[in-house]
Amino acid sequence: MRKVRVLEAAASEVIEAAAWYEERNSGLGQAFGRAVDAALDLLESDGAGLVPLPGVAGTRGLQRLVMKRFPYDVVVVERSATEVLVVAFAHHSRHPGYWRGRLSAATDDSSTK
């Protein structure tokens, strides 16, 4: 089993998105939270479904897992064979690559949960 670590900024994205969904439809925020948990479980078990990001990000080892019900990608970098770091929960309509500045935090242990 792999260890999955989540950058604080990515964890904040989940909290904000869940609150937004919950405001729109009672229970939808909880459904989003369950979808995030399922994605993290998948990353922890075997990472099936991960695809390289296009362009330079992909050449740097960044990958994504597309969430099924919600328009989000879980952007990750494999730090080792036993550890995956979640860099962002990126909405499909948000500016692409907005999270790239977080990559320097990938080596800073204090920025993860």
Report pLDDT for 53.
85
The total number of structural domains in the chain stands at 1
- pTM of structure: 0.86
The pLDDT tens digits for 32-86 are: 999 999 999 999 987 678 998 887 777 678 899 999 899 999 999 988 888 999 9
Q: Is 65 within the bounds of a domain?
A: yes
Q: Are 64 and 42 in contact (CB under 8 A)?
A: no
Q: Is 31 within the bounds of a domain?
A: yes
Using the structure block, give the residue that is written with the tokens 């998105």. 17
Q: Is 78 within the bounds of a domain?
A: yes
CATH of the domain at 42: 3.30.2310.20
User: Domain limits at 98?
Assistant: 3-102
Q: Is 30 within the bounds of a domain?
A: yes
Using CA atoms, how far apart are residues 64 and 72, in angstroms rounded to an integer?
A: 10
Q: Is 41 within the bounds of a domain?
A: yes
Q: Of all residues in the chain, what percent carry a pLDDT higher than 70? A: 90
Q: Is 107 within the bounds of a domain?
A: no
Q: Are 106 and 3 in contact (CB under 8 A)?
A: no
